[in-house]
Amino acid sequence: MDCPDWKTLSFILIFVPVYLQGALSQEARPAWQRKPFFERLRLLEEQFRSLQKVTLTHLHAIASNYNLSYNIDARFRSLALENQAMALVVNQSQTALQGDLGHLKTWMRKTHRRSQKVDSRLLALGAALSERSQQHARERKEQEAQRQALSSLALDMRALQDTLAHLMHVIQSQGARLATLEGWLQVAGPGTTAPALSPTQPEPPSPSSPKLQGAKQTLRTLPEPKDPPQDFAGCLQGTGEHPGPHSQQAWHPERPEEICNVGPVLIFPNASTKNVVFLSPGFLLGLRALSVCSWVRTASGHLGTLLSYATEDNDNKLVLHGRDSLAPGSIHFVIGDPAFRELPLQQLLDGQWHHMCVIWTSILGRYWLHVDRRLVATGSHFREGYEIPPGGSLVLGQEQDSMGGGFDGSEAFVGSMAGLAIWDRVLVPREVSHLATGEEVPPGAILTLANATSVGGFVQRVKCTCLDLCP
């Protein structure tokens, strides 16, 4: 844009001297010949002034354009800086948004998994309720059949009594006839002998004969039909128990002060999700039988989670799980979620030490619950033929929603544990009794509190010589 103006100015500066030189050379000419020359010179001067104005105008425009271009460069630099700052803010916003989206996705996955667990537990609970209703229906049918059998037995006993009464009447009449015959013989003559009885006719027994006396005694000692025994009536109603040969009629728990040498005691003071104890190395082999025993003391309104075993594919492979939404003292015994059994442990909520053993075997799916040496629950067909896999995470005091984490304060255990041990076999009642009284620890325990490698949060690990000395 600057080059044409400078070329024009150079042309004018060269052309004007040449033209003036030509004009001066023509002054020697006559006046009539010089007049057109001055006229041309005047015109040329006017053109020069006009060209000068145009040149100045162009120069001003060039200066204005230069200032404008300088301002545009400054503005461009300012816009570039603002663009960089805005790009930085946008990147930070995108990073924060991606972090929020990641947290939201994690929360959605946990919520989805929990909803699946709740759905599966609801399905299992529905199946258990259906099975229990069917069992109640079968029990009602059995009770009705037993009532009918009792009614039939009572009728048979009444018929037997009527038959015995008729037999006694016949015996008495025969005795009277014998007495009459003896009187006739005595009247007929002292030397007359009584006629021999026909061999086909049996001799009626006398009232003093041993057989008749035995019959009368039997009739007197026959029991009248009474109401069924209390235990039997309780069994018919589904509330009684059939006591086994080693069962006790009354429950007399051992006093804690008599129990000593139980090993370390773990105290869980509150429901914080940081209060957790990890047992290592966990289960090294798959388990087809299991016995979990421990001394437990809690004064909370619910029992909480005593033990939780989780693997990568299932966070509830083995759980003794209680929470504040369940019935007080109720606990879910879970093996391979969603299968579980609900166990009654209300007697553990009195703030005293109690000994409990949960035992399971995959043979017929049998399970037993012992509390203070007393069998309080048993059943079968629970995870029959199942094997608890190895390689998982085993914790105390918390329920895992993921392997080694995902704890919930509403499911935490608040209280004390002592003498916890796990066996890969079924303990017999004698071993449970010896363990509960502190006499002997059954051999072959695969895990104890000595395997507690990590004690987190506010959990305290103390040593007590006897349970009554524990804080």
If we measure between CA atoms, which residue out of 42, 19, 236, 243 comes closest to residue 136? 236
Name the H helices within 189-221. 210-221
What's this model's pTM, rounded to 2 decimal places?
0.50
List Cα–Cα distances, 116 to 8, 111, 314, 411, 442, in angstroms: 89, 8, 12, 18, 39
Q: What is the DSSP string of 74-92?
A: HHHHHHHHHHHHHHHHHHH
Residue 277 pLDDT class (50, 70, 90 cuts): very high
At residue 91, what is the residue type?
A: N
Averaged pLDDT for residues 138-166: 84
Residue holding tokens 């009642």?
429
pLDDT score recorded for residue 294: 95
Q: How far apart are CA 426 and CA 364, in angstroms?
A: 13
Assign 377 to helix, strand or coil.
Answer: strand
pLDDT score recorded for residue 202: 41
Does residue 94 or residue 23 have the better pLDDT? Answer: 94
Q: In 201-353, which ranges are E strands?
A: 264-268, 277-279, 289-297, 307-310, 318-321, 330-335, 340-344
If we measure between CA atoms, which residue out of 357, 361, 359 comes closest to residue 419? 357
How many helices, marked H, and strands, marked E, lie in the chain?
A: 5, 15
Per-range mean pLDDT, top range of 29-43, 190-204, 257-271, 309-323: 309-323
Going by the DSSP 8-state scheme, the letter that residue 280 receives in this structure is S
Going by the DSSP 8-state scheme, the letter that residue 246 receives in this structure is T
Residue 184 pLDDT class (50, 70, 90 cuts): confident
Which stretch of 42-56, 57-71, 117-131, 429-443 has the lowest confidence by average pLDDT? 57-71
Query: Tokens for 407?
Result: 């704890």
Q: Using CB atoms within 10 A of its CB, is residue 38 exposed (0-12), middle (13-18) or buried (19+)?
A: exposed
pLDDT score recorded for residue 210: 42
Long-range contacts for 172-179 (Cβ within 8 Å, ≥24 apart)? 172/207, 174/204, 174/205, 175/204, 175/205, 175/206, 175/207, 175/212, 177/204, 178/204, 178/206
pLDDT of 32 higher than 70: no
Per-range mean pLDDT, top range of 19-28, 163-172, 256-265, 305-314: 305-314
Does residue 450 or residue 221 have the better pLDDT? Answer: 450
Averaged pLDDT for residues 281-286: 92
If we measure between CA atoms, which residue out of 341, 350, 339, 388 comes closest to residue 369? 341
pLDDT score recorded for residue 423: 96
Query: Tokens for 186?
Result: 């005595």
Distance in angstroms between the alpha carbons of the first and the last residue of the chain: 98
Query: Tokens for 233?
Result: 């009536």
pLDDT of 22 higher than 90: no
Asked if 171 and 219 count as a contact pair (C-beta separation under 8 A), the reply is: no
What percentage of the chain reaches a pLDDT higher than 90? 34
Residue 234 pLDDT class (50, 70, 90 cuts): very low
Query: Tokens for 96?
Result: 């924060």
Asked if 320 and 307 count as a contact pair (C-beta separation under 8 A), the reply is: yes
Averaged pLDDT for residues 254-269: 77
Averaged pLDDT for residues 95-109: 91
Asked if 296 and 380 count as a contact pair (C-beta separation under 8 A), the reply is: no
Averaged pLDDT for residues 5-28: 61
pLDDT of 243 higher than 50: no
Does residue 153 or residue 322 have the better pLDDT? Answer: 153
pLDDT score recorded for residue 12: 66
Does residue 370 or residue 467 have the better pLDDT? Answer: 370
